[in-house]
């Protein structure tokens, strides 16, 4: 779930040895093109079989929510546990479910830096949340402009949120113990009103 490995590349630039795993070969190919200081692997996180043991693993960008079934989440966390040393760490960037449903207006997102000469890429997206199902629905249209004109395609997905007790049970089932929760990137303690839900766990 590392996508093109930007977060991993930042860690590698600070002296860490980093392996980035993603299910999508196109993501890994682009990551290899951009970042030579990261080892990339194409794999399903639910059935990882890597030759190394790591001090620390993390899933950022709320990607754990891509799993809509609990058994998939536990399987993924267990596979990570099998690759982390005893006492090693796990970091998760999550969304905590809200009590009320909501819908955001359609917005346009432009890349901060275009990565391919002669091509401009942007997207339009609208997001909604159903508090009963705890599902976030993201409807996107991606635009690619070249000298031949503008092409577009739809990219829609759903993210399954889950409550705190479910997370604790998932971590315990996978062999981790919750160590700390933070409400922002200054690592202040988490609460139900925090803008972020950052979780630190340890392999036990």
Per-residue pLDDT of 135-149, as tens digits, reads 999 999 999 999 999
- 192 domain-assigned: yes
User: What is the domain extent for residue 69?
Assistant: 44-96+162-203
- CATH number for position 112: 2.20.25
Residues 106 and 151 in one domain: yes
Residues 65 and 90 in one domain: yes
Quote the CA–CA distance of 192 and 84 in Å, as a whole number. 30
Quote the CA–CA distance of 20 and 34 in Å, as a whole number. 13
Residues 119 and 168 in one domain: no
Residues 154 and 60 in one domain: no
- 171 domain-assigned: yes
- 5 domain-assigned: no
Residues 84 and 172 in one domain: yes
- 29 domain-assigned: no
3-state helix, strand, coil in the chain (%, to 5): 25, 40, 35
Residues 88 and 171 in one domain: yes
The number of residues in the chain equals: 204
Q: What is the enclosing helix (H) or strand (E) of 180?
A: strand 176-182
Quote the CA–CA distance of 60 and 41 in Å, as a whole number. 17
Instruction: Give the pTM.
Output: 0.91
Could you tell me the CA-to-CA distances from 179 to 60, 76, 79, 167, 184 in Å, in that order?
17, 19, 19, 12, 16
Q: Report the number of distinct structural domains present in the chain.
A: 2
Mean pLDDT on 187-196: 94
- 199 domain-assigned: yes
**Residue from 194, 204, 22 nearest 96 by CA:** 194
Per-residue pLDDT of 86-118, as tens digits, reads 999 999 999 999 999 999 999 999 987 777 788
Could you tell me the CA-to-CA distances from 170 to 27, 30, 57, 188, 195 in Å, in that order?
28, 32, 16, 24, 23
Residues 166 and 81 in one domain: yes
Per-residue pLDDT of 14-66, as tens digits, reads 999 999 999 999 999 999 999 999 999 999 999 999 999 999 999 999 999 99
């Amino acid at each position: 779930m590392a996508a093109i490995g930007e977060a991993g590349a930042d860690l590698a630039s600070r002296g860490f040895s980093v392996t980035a795993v993603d299910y999508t070969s196109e993501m890994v190919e682009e990551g290899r093109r951009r970042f030579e200081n990261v080892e990339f692997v194409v794999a399903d996180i639910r059935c990882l079989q890597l030759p190394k043991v790591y001090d620390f693993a993390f899933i950022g960008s709320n990607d754990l929510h891509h799993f809509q079934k609990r058994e998939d989440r536990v399987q993924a966390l267990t596979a990570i546990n099998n690759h982390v040393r005893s006492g090693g760490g796990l970091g998760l960037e999550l969304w905590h479910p809200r009590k009320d449903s909501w819908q955001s207006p359609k917005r346009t997102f432009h890349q901060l830096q275009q990565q391919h000469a002669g091509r401009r890429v942007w997207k339009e997206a609208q997001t909604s949340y159903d508090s009963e199902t705890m599902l976030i629905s993201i409807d996107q249209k991606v635009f690619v402009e070249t000298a031949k004109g503008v092409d577009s395609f739809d990219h829609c997905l759903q993210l399954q949120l889950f409550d705190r007790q479910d997370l604790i049970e998932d971590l315990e089932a996978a062999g981790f113990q919750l160590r700390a929760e933070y409400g922002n990137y200054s690592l202040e303690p988490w609460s139900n009103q925090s803008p972020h839900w950052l979780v630190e766990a340890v392999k036990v």
